[in-house]
Amino acid sequence: MYLLDLDDFCCRLEYGSRLMGEAEQGRLHFLPGNLLDAPLEVPPQIDAVIHLAAWPHVDFSMHYPGLVVHNNVTSTQRLLHLCGDRGLPILVTSSVEVYGGDQGRVYAETASYKPYSPYAASKVSCEVLTQTYIQCFGIRAKLIRLTNLYGPWQAPDRIIPRNMGRLIDGVPLDIQGRVVRDFVYVTDAAEAIWTVMKHGRWGEIYNISSGTGTDMQSVGRLMSRLGGETPEVELHTQEPTPSRGASLVIDPAKIGTELGWKASVSLEEGLERTYRWYLQHAEWARAFRPQYLAERRGREFIVDVARMPAKSSTGLETA
């Protein structure tokens, strides 16, 4: 199995190379490359593509919409073109964010698009491009829409890893907003991706989720119980940006009925596993301490912003 980077901007090599340090060493061949290059240089012996690369942070896309749209859409188009030229099948990863998120609604794959952020809009564009390549060029492609993932190695600027860092440091947890979200532990997601790649129908879209919504306040209370002494939790009812729907829960019935996949790790168990991992890797987590201690009302808490090179100040971020 080969692993390629999205691009060489913003230190992306670190994202992929950190996978090579433990159990996967020798099983993954890491090839640093730039998916924005044309033509792409990839090994001739590959027999399928699983396209996971993206700039996936909703808040980052509010500050750098041009970068996010350019990276996500152009890299997807280049990969689709490569697969068409070589006759390769491809699984394209999209996001729950394409649905928007209305209170009380559970979204099936047939729901209409309602993106609330530049990131969500970029994923809508990637989906439409994929359907276009299926129609116009006859490529074999499938799409998945992932819900919110969590687990080891996640950069501490999402709600769960951000507060895991704060938990191991003994500082108050920071929970903002009352939005409802669906969470899936990363090993469940990996199993679902592989299941769709092997057995899913060509041209189809599959939701990957638990199907169970949890409000952010409840997530905070669950995390607060992990560290022994119950830490202080700062609960803020207001979301810092208008880029998120009130409730975003998606229905996994299709992948369950057709392919037999179901999330097996409960949120409580997944949070416990994640907390143990962060305790064992506290030194790695604390490298992000300035971000997970920063307030979420600016851009300082976003890990990718901290990694931005000097050229990011030229105006490209808003192009």
Contact present, 263 and 146 (Cβ < 8 Å): no
Rounded CA-CA distance 6/39 in Å is 14
Number of domains the chain is built from: 1
Mean pLDDT of the chain: 86
Closest CA to 6 of 31, 27, 39, 43: 31
What does the pLDDT read at residue 15? 53
Q: How many residues does the chain have?
A: 319
Q: Which whole number is the average pLDDT over 58-72?
A: 93
Give the confidence band of 311 by pLDDT, cuts at 50, 70, 90: very low
Range with top average pLDDT, 50-59, 159-168, 263-272: 263-272
Q: Sheet holding 49-51: strands in order across?
A: 49-51, 90-95, 141-146, 205-208
Q: Which whole number is the average pLDDT over 178-206?
A: 96
What does the pLDDT read at residue 1? 59
Across the chain, which distance is largest between two alpha carbons, in Å? 59
Burial class (CB in 10 A: 0-12, 13-18, 19+), 222: middle
| Domain ranges, residue 138 | 2-318
- Coil, helix or strand at residue 94: strand
What is the torsional sign of CA 253, 153, 37, 198? Answer: negative
Q: Which whole number is the average pLDDT over 10-23?
A: 49
Instruction: Write the pLDDT tens digit of every residue in 223-254.
Output: 988 977 666 777 766 665 677 788 999 999 99
Q: Does 65 or 102 have the greater pLDDT score? A: 65
Buried/exposed code over 170-198 (b: 16+ C-beta within 10 A; e: otherwise): ebebbbbbbbbbbbbbbbbbebbbebbbe
Contact present, 114 and 124 (Cβ < 8 Å): no
Q: Which whole number is the average pLDDT over 293-303?
A: 88
- Which residue has tokens 């687990």? 151
Q: Which whole number is the average pLDDT over 182-190?
A: 97
Instruction: Write the pLDDT tens digit of every residue in 83-125.
Output: 999 999 999 999 999 999 988 899 999 999 999 999 999 999 9
pLDDT at residue 22 tops 60: no
Closest CA to 243 of 308, 170, 302, 172: 302
Give the confidence band of 165 by pLDDT, cuts at 50, 70, 90: very high
- What CATH number does the domain containing 144 carry? 3.40.50.720
pLDDT at residue 309 tops 50: yes
Q: Which whole number is the average pLDDT over 169-198?
A: 92
What does the pLDDT read at residue 47? 92
Q: Does 136 or 317 have the greater pLDDT score? A: 136
Give the confidence band of 255 by pLDDT, cuts at 50, 70, 90: very high
Give the confidence band of 31 by pLDDT, cuts at 50, 70, 90: confident
pLDDT at residue 185 tops 50: yes
What does the pLDDT read at residue 163? 94
Instruction: Write the pLDDT tens digit of every residue in 281-290.
Output: 999 999 999 9
